[in-house]
Chains A and B, each alone.
Chain A
Amino acid sequence: MNQDPRLAPPVRRIIPRQAGTVVEPRSEPAPSAAAAVASAAQPAVEPGVQSGAWQDPVDMPAPPRAPTTTHSNVVERMRLESVWLAYGDRWVVRDVSLPVRQGEVLALIGASGSGKTTLLRSLNRLTEITAGAARAGHITLDGEEIDGLEANDLRRRISMVFQQPNPFPMSVFENVAYSLREERAARRRRRRAGLPGRGPRGDQLRASVVEALRRAGLYDEVGDDLDRPALGLSGGQQQRLCIARSLAAGPEVLLLDEPCSALDPISTATIEELIVGLRESVAVVIVTHNLQQAVRVADHVAFMHLGELVEYGPSQQIFEHPRQQRTRDYVSGAFG
Chain B
Amino acid sequence: MEGALNATDSSTLGVSGARKPPATLRRSQRPRERLAGWPIADRVAWAACWVVGVGVSLVTAAIVLLMAVKGIAYLHPALLFEHPSAAVAQSQSGGFLDPIEGTLLLTAVGTAIAAPLGVAIAVWLHEYGRPAGLARATESAIEMTAGGPSVLFALFGLILFARPVLAFLSQTSAGGSVSGRSFLTAGAVSSLLALPLVVGATREALAQLPARLREASQALGKTRARTIRKVLLPSIRPGIAAGVVLGMGRIIGDTAIVIFVLGATLHLTPAGGLPGLSALRGEGTTLTAYVRYNSPAGEGLAPNKAYAAAFVLMLIVVALNFAVVRLGSGSRRKRPFARWRPARAGSAQ
Contact = CB atoms under 8 A, between A and B. Distances in A.
Task: Say if the two chains contact directly (CB < 8 Å).
Answer: yes
Given A130-B342, A309-B14, A40 B22 contact: no
A23 interface: no
B91 interface: no
A262 B22 CA distance: 36
A46 B1 contact: yes
Contacts of A314: 1-2
A138 to B, nearest CB: 9
Given A94-B16, A132-B342, A312-B15, A39 B349 contact: no
A136 B22 contact: yes
B4 A308 contact: no
B287 to A, nearest CB: 45
A135 B25 contact: yes
A226 interface: no
B39 interface: yes
Interface in B1-17: 1-9, 12-17
Contacts of B22: 82, 84, 136-137
Given A36-B4, A147-B26, A313-B1, A95 B345 contact: no
B28 A89 contact: no
A95 B19 contact: yes
B215 to A, nearest CB: 27
B9 A29 contact: yes
B37 A134 contact: no
Interface size class of B (residues with CB under 8 A): 35 or more
A98 B16 CA distance: 10
B212 interface: no
Contacts of B42: 185
A31 B24 CA distance: 24
Contacts, number: 140
B4 A49 contact: yes
Given A40-B3, A89-B348, A128 B37 contact: no
Contacts of A313: 1, 14
Interface in A151-199: 151-153, 184-185, 187
B210 interface: no
Contact of A49 (B3, B18, B39): B3
Contact of A95 (B1, B16, B25): B16
A81 interface: yes
B217 to A, nearest CB: 34
A167 B345 CA distance: 30
B338 A135 contact: no
A136 B25 contact: yes
B298 to A, nearest CB: 52
12 contacts: A29-B9, A39-B3, A39-B7, A86-B25, A99-B4, A128-B31, A132-B345, A134-B348, A136-B22, A151-B37, A308-B16, A311-B15
Interface of A: 29, 31, 36, 39-40, 42, 44-46, 49, 76, 81-82, 84, 86, 88-91, 94-99, 101, 128-137, 147-148, 150-153, 184-185, 187, 300, 308-314, 317
Given A98-B14, A132-B343, A314-B1, 4 more contacts: A84-B22, A136-B29, A150-B34, A308-B16
